[in-house]
Structure 1
Amino acid sequence: MGRFRELRASGGFVLVAMCLSTFTDNFVYSMVIPILPYLLMNNITSSDEIQQWTSILLAAYGAALLVASPLVGLISDRIQSRKSPLIFGYIAIAVSTSVFLFGHSPALLIIARVCQGLSGAVVGVLSFAIVADTASPEKRGEYMAFVSTSYTWGVISGPVIGGLLFDHFGVHGAFAFPVFMLICDVILRIMILEKDREESLPPLAGEEAPLLPPKDGSKASLHLRDFVDMRFMTAVLSEITISSILAAFETTLPLFTMEAYKWSSTNAGLVFLGISLPSFLSIPLSRYGRDWKRRRTIAIELILAFFPLVALRITDGPSPSHQIGFIALVTGAGLFLTTSQAQVMAEVSDAVREIEVTRGVDPNQRSGMGTGYAFCNMAIAIGQFVGPLIAGYARLYLGWGGMTLVLGGTSAFIGLLSLIVNP
């Protein structure tokens, strides 16, 4: 029994549980993406209106995520257990799944997406914060890469499996798989045995060590103003950019492939594999992340993403060569975006640890990680909110080529800005 308790409290078990939690939450969020146009067709007939409602529904998720994330972060830093609030995430995602099963009007779909946003706030903040609290500095980058990869695969594999299940089994059959995953997720969440926050915190070393000496005196926790830090804010800005582009893909790729290539929802979902497959490279890359400046790597990858993003403008045609080029360029963009996103998650943790020591936070009461990842989750939320709107309306008024130019230009600009202000 003692060995079983040690297993439940081990960093490896916590990592597995949080990876499954992150994957499940984002899988349920994203599996409806290729299904939404077909659900909306029951109430809306205009193609332009379907694109607008698709953008609104994705933006509703981002708005709920944006509002709820800071509350979750502040609460989790001020209570003894980070595990307890996870049950609220389960309740929210259960409600959203039920609404998708039994209500298909635009109003009900908005309610479902808002509940998914609330769940995303809880899981997104707490999963990364719990892993950051339990991982050693040497392992933190690698652990964050695992959680980030789970996040990416949840977001990207959802449309693939969701479209496949919907094509063969309809709405009710499509949601049977996520219901099973939710049950497994809840079991693992309950089994986690948290150590005292004080015991789980590893010492600071290496790249985490502050560049400036700590201030005299100490305090129990960080204030919001303490997070106005160049290193931390650069990581947050990078996450906004990455999340915006990925959310823009989620909004436009299914409808674009339906119109340009006449693909089914299954084929439209499969194209997201091109984005998710390169994310596995973030795990080996993260092992060496402490040997160089992560923020520099993130900035360079954002600049390199400009080229495949802008080149997508030449794929607007029905021929097989256009389709092959489309898949190759989406994969190239996915390589730079997903691997840089994993580095951002590790960079946020290191930046928070640096802020805590620099601000003189009591080492036994380090309580800023939840708030740090709340900011990161808010960055994702901003991206989930503005990305679909910008991409949807850019494609509507500027066309496919104009939209890809906007996305690529934004990525390159933020990458260059990051290199200048935080080299």
Structure 2
Amino acid sequence: MQTDRSLRKAQMAALWVVGIAIFTDMLVYGLIVPVLPRYALSLGASQGAIGMLFGSYAAALLLATPLMGIWSDRAGRRIPMLFGLFGLAGATILFGFSHQFGLLVVARILQGVAAAATWTAGLALLADIFPPAARGKAMGYALSGQAAGMLLGPAIGGWLYQWGGYNLPFLVAAGLALVDGFLRFLLLRDTEPAASARQASAQDMFQLIRRPKLLLISGVIVLGASLPSALEPTLPIHLQQVFSASPGLIGLLFAIPTVAYGVTSPLAGTFAYRWGAKRLIMIGLIITAIALPWIGAVHHLTLIGLLLAVLGIGFGCILTPTLSELSAAADDAGIRSYGFTFAIYNTAYSFGMFAGPILSGTAAESFGLKECLILFSIIAIVYAVIIYRSAALSAGNSAV
């Protein structure tokens, strides 16, 4: 009884610290969106340079994630998560007090490296401490922190900028990072798994990468990240040109799928265990494929808002089950190197986040928004068919 009580206490501590860490990371990520472009312009940066500034986050996340995964398996979860905290705090301070564009790029890169440490070690910690039946739900709750941070970050950043100038948003972010760090230090003391459960050889890692299940899930993650990010460079222009939408209204519309995603994620984690990841991911892909083309075709903002809500539900159904399926793939291979496993998640996600806007921006410029979204819809349908024909993913609780 005492052992069960201690385990539940450790599980709740891990869930709180990982959820808050992800929330803080995404809050700071969104905090700079309404602030940084204007400041970079004042330093003489071009639009292209500002695009490079924002893209450097995804590039740093992509490159740093595999290293953070290996480090997390060898050193434990606590040290990389504390490193992620100090990296995030350092990045926010550098953002707030930089007077050269090059230093802003350095801060953005540091922010991406810190996110790689936090996400990889945090998700691995949840996989360490939660049994397979509860992992999906726990990780769904953790991803709700992502949605909340993305939702609140831009609004808080813009408000703080208007109230206290450029430096204030970053000073507040540094303060939040300190609070987050105190929680990480306090709550992670009793949640560290045994080192023998983390270590894996290079051969084990190579065998894990080659597993069909992991390759299939990685494709789902890339697609699940690229679909929402594809709307970022295209939909605002469409809303402005067709509906004369203000920046505030555009921000409100983009908040709709974020809220829907945050609400859906915990439910999707539970349903993935009951129904199977295969079925839920297919549902998410089909929902997304149906809703996407209509966004470029309807002529009423209310309908676009409803479609964005549907898309948020679809995104939650696509991405959330992949977390527990990745840990299951490692378990099936007899490898509990969850740090390396979730490094694969971060790598695939950052690649999708990087590729989605590039593909959508190019396609929208060449063919138009409606045709661009039809292209992404076709890609989603094709991948849903691939998943349907595959036997690699779990088919529900009876198959576990």
Partner residue in 2 for 1:27: 27
Partner of 2:397: none
State the partner residue of 2:373. 404
Shift of the 183–354 alpha-carbon distance from structure 1 to 2, 3 Å rule, reads: same
Q: Distance in 2 between matches of 1:127 and 1:242?
A: 20
Q: Mark the CA change 1:171 to 1:73 in structure 2 (over 3 Å): closer, same or farther.
A: same
Q: Where does the alignment leave 5 or more consecutive residues of structure 2 unmatched?
A: 394-400
| 1:184-263 pair list within 5 angstroms | 184-191=179-186, 192-195=188-191, 197-198=193-194, 222-254=204-236, 256-258=238-240, 260-263=242-245
The answer to which of 144-153 and 260-269 deviates more is 260-269
> After superposition, where does 1:327-406 map in structure 2 within 5 Å?
327-356=305-334, 366=336, 368-406=337-375
CA 1:31–1:247 in structure 2 vs 1: closer, same or farther (change >3 Å)?
farther
Provide the TM-score with structure 2 as the length reference: 0.85
2:33 is paired with a residue whose SS is coil
Is 1:12 the counterpart of 2:41? The answer is no
Shift of 1:36: 4.5
Residue number among 168, 172, 178 corresponding to 1:183 in the alignment:
178
Aligned-partner Cα distance in 2 for 1:417–1:180: 46
Q: 1:96 to 1:12 in 2, by over 3 A?
A: same
Q: Would the alpha carbon gap of residues 42 and 396 (structure 1) be closer, same or farther in structure 2, given more than 3 Å must change?
A: farther
Structure 1 equivalent of residue 155 of structure 2 = 160
Please tell me whether the aligned partners of residues 30 and 158 of structure 1 are also in contact (alpha carbons under 8 angstroms). yes
2:167 aligns to what?
A: 172
What letter is aligned with 2:14?
V
Which 5+ residue runs of structure 1 have no aligned equivalent? 202-217, 316-320
Q: Is the 8 A contact 1:167 1:265 kept in 2?
A: no
SS of equivalent to 2:296: helix
Cα displacement (A) at 1:70: 0.4
Per-residue CA deviation, residues 14-51 of structure 1 (Å, 9 max, x unaligned), is: 11011000111122112323444434543679xxx63x
Return closer, same or farther for 1:347/1:219 CA change in 2, 3 Å cut-off.
Answer: same
How far apart are the structure 2 equivalents of 1:222 and 1:153? Answer: 36
Structure 2 partner of 1:126: 121
Change (3 A) 1:198 1:7: closer
Tell me the residue number matched to 1:270.
252
Letter in 2 for 1:354: D
Q: CA RMSD in A?
A: 3.1
Aligned residue type for 2:380: S
Residue 55 of structure 2 corresponds to residue 59 of structure 1: yes
1:64 Cα deviation after fit: 0.7
* Greater mean alpha carbon deviation, residues 219-228 or residues 125-134: 219-228
Letter matched to residue 57 of structure 2: Y
Matched length? 386
Match of 1:286 in 2: 269
Higher helix share: 2
Contact 1:164–1:266, Cα closer than 8 Å, also in 2? no
Distance 1:182 1:87 in 2: 10
Cα pair 1:97 1:112 within 8 Å, conserved: yes
* 2:31 partner letter: M
State which drifts further: 285-294 or 371-380: 285-294
Share of identical aligned residues, percent?
25
TM-score scaled to structure 1, two decimals? 0.81
The answer to whether the 8 A contact 1:35-1:265 is kept is no
